[in-house]
Amino acid sequence: MLKILKIGTSWQNLWQSEEFRSDVRHELWRNIVVPVLAIIFALGVGALILSATGYNVVKAYGALWQGVFGSKVNVGEAFLRSTPLILIGTGIALAFRCGFWNIGAEGQFYAGAAAGTYVALTFANLPPWAGIPIALLVGFFTGAIWGALAGLLKVKFCLNEVVTTIMLNYIAIGLVGYLVTGPMQEAMRENPQTDEIVRSFVIGRIFPTSRVHYGFIIAVVVAIIATIVLFRTPLGYSMRAVGYNPDAAKHAGINVASSMATAAFLSGGTAGLAGAIEVLGVTGRLFENLSPGYGFEGIAVSLLVNNHPLATIVSGLLFGALGAGSQVMQLNAKVPAVLTFIIQGLIIAFIISFRYLDKNPSGK
């Protein structure tokens, strides 16, 4: 973060400081120039691949552009798809900043989705103003508990959270599989899915012409709150201190176990909230394969911006836009899905590679 956010002094005084100007230049370089260059490089390499495989580069990138900015509907799609990624990315940022390597967002997402669906199906008579917040809160807390389980296993028994969170992913996904073929299966019992949630539980759309719903606003608010918590509260300070050096933090009087468990809880909570929002805002029911890997994509969303919760809004939107654009690229330019995924992957890989080239200390 820039020092302007850390010290109380006037802009004029700050700007006269060579150190501050250097800071600004550096922040601009690493947060704007580097990503833009990375995107140019990736598109360049992508163009070569497209050309070598016999596809029209202009048509393909035209379709990509069209898919992202071609219409209000398409812009809305990018926002819609970024919603779970921003939420999960935010949670991952909190956990990683605390040194808790949460690979379990996928399972936490499923846990939250199942809990949110359960509330929506069981308490279908609740009015929207009560039903939706309750379903989302239950989704948040279920995901949080799922995350906290791994947190407790780490702080109480020193179990490696990478292993436990991955295992908890399998358990959550398996549980959802059981629920949608057993106790929560649709009344017709034909397909492995729940019944559709009632209309009063569906999260409303922000604009009538686009599918983006209020879940996006929630995601942005959560990212802002997470940023404030992380950088402006004693809890956030403790979490970051533990992430830097748990031994030093312990000697400074910080409760390392509590910080880590809290980080795991909050990280799982945002993923659980994402799951509940996905059901209430997009799918309308729970089924297996609800997530295409949001939990893992969320890790990339967070790492891309050095685990900064606020910046996950930008990286989440980037991922969302690429997803929306690649769909239209397949349709209009007849580019196979694999090539569109390669181009998406190249963009991310180049951004991360460029960050590695940047020898400056990582922004904390």
Partner 1 sequence: MERKSYKLWVLVAALVIISMVLAQCAPAATPAPQQPTEKKFKVGLLHPSPITDAWSGIAYQALKRIEAELGAEIANVEIKSPAEREKGFIDFASQGYDLVIGHDFAMQDAAEKVSKDFPNTFFTTTGGSKFTDNYAPIDLIPGYKQALYAVGVMAGNITKTKKAVAFTMELPATKIPLEGFQAGFNSIPGNSCSMVILKDGNDVGAAKEAALQAIADGADILIANANIAGTGVLQAVAENEGKVWGIGTIGDQTSLAPKGVLVSATLNVSEALFSIAKAVKEGTMKGGQVRVFTVNDPGVYDFVYNPETADLVTDEMKALLQDTLNKIKSGEIKVE
Name the residues that contact partner 1, by CB under 8 A: 29, 37, 40-41, 43-45, 47-48, 51, 56-58, 73, 77, 80-81, 181-182, 188-193, 196, 211, 278, 282-285, 287, 289-292, 294, 323-324, 327-328, 330-331, 334, 336-338, 354, 357, 359-360
Reduce the DSSP state of residue 228 to 3 states and report it: helix
CB of 232 to partner 1, least distance (A): 31
- Residues 339, 50: contact at Cβ < 8 Å? yes
Smallest separation, CB 238 to partner 1 (Å): 33
CB of 286 to partner 1, least distance (A): 10
Closer CB to partner 1, 118 or 287, in the complex:
287
Which is nearer to partner 1, 84 or 243 (by Cβ)? 84
CA–CA distance, 135 with 250 (Å, rounded to integer): 38
Least distance CB 126 / partner 1 (angstroms): 22
> 349-354: long-range contacts (C-beta < 8 A, 24 or more apart)?
349/42, 350/38, 350/39, 350/41, 350/42, 350/45, 351/34, 351/35, 351/38, 351/39, 351/42, 351/304, 352/303, 352/304, 353/38, 354/34, 354/35, 354/37, 354/38, 354/41
Contact by Cβ (8 Å): 255, 139: no
Non-local CB neighbours of 69 within 8 Å, separated by 6+ positions: 75
Listed residue (304, 333, 324, 329) closest to 39, CA to CA: 304
Q: What backbone phi and psi angles, to 5 degrees, belong to 361?
A: -60, 145
Smallest gap from Cβ 134 to partner 1, in A, equals 23
- How near is the Cβ of 209 to partner 1 at its closest, in Å? 12
**Residue 193 or 312: which CB sits closer to partner 1?**
193
**Measured from the CB atom, is 238 or 330 closer to partner 1?**
330
Residue 204 or 292 having the CB closest to partner 1:
292
- Of 158 and 357, which has the nearer Cβ to partner 1? 357
